[in-house]
Amino acid sequence: GPIVDGLGVITGGVIGNAYSVTATNSSNCSSTSAIFIIISTIKLPTPSVSISSPTVIEGTNAVFMVLIDVPSSVDTVVDVVTNTGTAGTSDYTATTTTVTIPAGQTSVTVSVLTTDDATDEPAENFTLNGTVTSGNTSNTTPFGTATINDNDATPTVSVTASIANASEPTTN
């Protein structure tokens, strides 16, 4: 037969069948029994997992959000690892970790420290790749791309000419 949890959610029944339910803790109920008929079922959407794509100034944390679009009834566990793009491993701290989005929640964060160097350079990027290892999601390999913007001044070039011990050529 069906099971009724503490929130009144019924699982295991068949549409059209009638069931009788008796409360096991009658001190919290005005009535200890009820009869119900299942008339329809609702299929909740399967969560989809994603990873945000932050933009940061070098030397600060790239904070990625690991998200599911609808709360799940079970924990969602995601292994994440950084991968180089135009940014090399000298531009950020390589990171490998496991994060858990608890049941009923929709996000957790992963922070990756970027390196503040003295080199003027264009914007660079790296990815945070995820693999869902536990939980019910519609996709299992999300990723996000961090963009690191430079904070160094463009170098200037100057040329200085000087003439030392110059003399006029002599003519005969």
Q: Confidence band (pLDDT; 50, 70, 90) for 158?
A: confident
Collect all residues with Cβ–Cβ distance below 8 Å to 15 and sequence separation of at least 6.
38, 39, 40, 41
Dist CA 130 CA 79 (whole Å):
6
Mean pLDDT over residues 91-102, rounded?
97
CB 103 within 8 A of CB 73: yes
CB 145 within 8 A of CB 53: yes
At 4, give phi and psi (nearest 5°): -110, 120
Q: What is the pLDDT of residue 111?
A: 98
Q: What is the pLDDT of residue 163?
A: 73
Q: What is the pLDDT of residue 37?
A: 55
Q: What is the pLDDT of residue 159?
A: 86
Q: Does pTM surpass 0.75? A: no
Dist CA 66 CA 68 (whole Å):
7
- Structure tokens belonging to residue 61: 């944390």
